A and B are shown apart, each in its own frame.
Chain A
Amino acid sequence: MKTDELIDMLSTNVEPVKQGRLRKTLVWALVVGGAAAFCVMLATVGLRTGLTDGFLPGYLTLKLLFTLSLIGVGAALLERLMRPGQDGRKLFAFVLLPFIIVVCAGVASLVFGQPMAWGRMIFGMQWATCLLCIPLFAVVPFAALIWALRKGAPTDLTRAGAIAGLVAGALSATAYAFHCPDDSVPFIAIWYGTLVALCGVLGAMVGPRLLRW
């Protein structure tokens, strides 16, 4: 085939492209993924008792600050990573910030807490449930984000997969926070932090396979 023939074909009847289509796709994936994670949480472990009173307790606020800040930075990064030529390098450091803050806060509260209570602070009541639920709830959001990325043209597939995994993990942790009965800061730092980061690592591993175009 001659390249001129191909150009002829591609430039016959050129449709106008709506602006903002790609961003809308990403927002859809975040909303659908987040809603799905929440529904899976309701269907499996259910809401924490006392949460139905309709106010936002302090312990939930803390968890949500961590997860929502990750979702915010991650979504902004994905919006760049799904476009060729934009690596979002400046934003990348901001992904680490919520992790650093929560780990520092966790260490501080251990240092100022009673060593006798460390075991309870770290393992809480349901560390094993947390360990299972966060990766499990992240599956649908991850699939939704990969679908959205495939509508774009990511050129750094490992990085795009990592951030998709991280945001899926953070969406999942947000849903899990509405069940989670453990409120100590070290618990959030260790279990939420590690599991969300793990989702990012898994995303980086499967990204190149899923996102190729």
Chain B
Amino acid sequence: MDVRSSEPELRALMIAGLDGDATAHRALLEKLSGQLRAYFKRQLNRIGRGPVEAEDLVQEALIAIHTRRHTYDRSQLFTPWVYAIARYKFLDYLRRTKVSAADVPIDEAQELAVHDDSAHVESSLDLKRLLAELSPRARQTIQYVKLDGLSVSEAAARSGMSESAVKVSVHRGLKALARLIREEKRS
């Protein structure tokens, strides 16, 4: 994938997703997952770790990109934003797993967009088990809105909560999920 052609495309998808376009958001996450996979595999390869860890990191980065998407400033380029998240998650992984960052040369920004990898490896994470660790309210709203695909108003009616409470609960639940995944991988 060429950097110059992907930046405007990814940025357009991101902005559409920020405005609530689910199709664009899905397309964005799919494209990014390929780039992130190539990036993490290459980085992990240098410290002798395999594709399962890479997939864990891809998923962690995707959740971060989703739950922190309000930190993207629409007036700025999109690629540096995504790359900074990927790099942060990789350095955080190194710190948690006690590999010295000095041992690993960190790639430059453009490398993220140059490679793409769509190999289908499963991560070590078990979504059902992780969901079970959330608060009952967060688990239920994520089940309704994110897994069963109910609209927010349907989920609100079914759970007896207000619509804004459902939205807040889903957002907090996803952030809690990200935290659980991070803790899961502390070794």
Binding site for B on A (CB under 8 A): 1-19, 21-22, 82-86, 152-153, 155, 212-213
* C-alpha spacing A170/B105, complex, angstroms: 38
* Cβ of B102 under 8 Å from chain A: no
Query: In the complex, which residue of chain B has the Cβ closest to the Cβ of A7?
Result: B29
Name the contact of B26 in the complex, choosing from A3, A7, A19 (C-beta under 8 A).
A7
Which residues between 129 and 183 of chain B lie within 8 Å of chain A, taking CB atoms? 142, 145-147, 149-152, 167, 170-171, 174, 178
The interface bits of chain B over 83-100 (1 if a CB of A lies within 8 angstroms of the residue's CB, else 0) are 111011000100000000
Beyond A1-B123, A11-B26, is A16–B71 a contact (Cβ under 8 Å)? no
B162 to chain A, nearest CB (A): 15
Name the contact of B25 in the complex, choosing from A6, A11, A152 (C-beta under 8 A).
A11
Some 27 contacts from A to B, beta carbons below 8 A apart, are: A2-B120, A3-B37, A3-B58, A3-B62, A3-B120, A6-B63, A6-B127, A7-B33, A9-B142, A9-B147, A10-B29, A12-B146, A13-B146, A13-B151, A15-B167, A16-B19, A17-B18, A21-B70, A82-B71, A83-B73, A84-B81, A84-B82, A85-B76, A152-B68, A155-B85, A212-B92, A213-B68
Interface centre among A4, A5, A12 (most CB of B within 10 A): A12
Q: Is the CB of A13 within 8 A of B83?
A: no
Q: Is the CB of B22 within 8 A of A12?
A: yes
Beyond A3-B62, A6-B59, A21-B70, is A14–B17 a contact (Cβ under 8 Å)? yes
B84 to chain A, nearest CB (A): 4
A20 to chain B, nearest CB (A): 10
Beyond A1-B125, A13-B149, is A155–B88 a contact (Cβ under 8 Å)? yes
* C-alpha spacing A29/B69, complex, angstroms: 21
B139 to chain A, nearest CB (A): 13
* Cβ of B21 under 8 Å from chain A: yes
Interface residues on B, range: 35 or more
Interface centre among A5, A9, A84 (most CB of B within 10 A): A84
- Count how many pairs of residues, one from A and one from B, have CB atoms less than 8 Å apart in the complex: 118
Given contacts A2-B122, A11-B29, A13-B151, 4 further A-B contacts (CB under 8 A): A7-B30, A10-B66, A11-B23, A12-B147
* C-alpha spacing A152/B178, complex, angstroms: 15
Q: Is the CB of A1 within 8 A of B74?
A: no
Beyond A1-B122, A16-B19, is A10–B146 a contact (Cβ under 8 Å)? yes
Query: In the complex, which residue of chain B has the Cβ closest to the Cβ of A6?
Result: B59
In the bound complex, residues from chain B placing their C-beta under 8 Å from that of A7 are 26, 29-30, 33, 62
Q: Is the CB of A83 within 8 A of B18?
A: no
Beyond A17-B70, A19-B74, is A10–B25 a contact (Cβ under 8 Å)? yes
Q: Is the CB of B127 within 8 A of A10?
A: no
Q: Is the CB of A83 within 8 A of B122?
A: no
* C-alpha spacing A3/B68, complex, angstroms: 18
The 8 closest A-B pairs by CB, nearest first: A16-B20, A84-B84, A11-B26, A85-B80, A85-B84, A153-B68, A155-B88, A14-B22
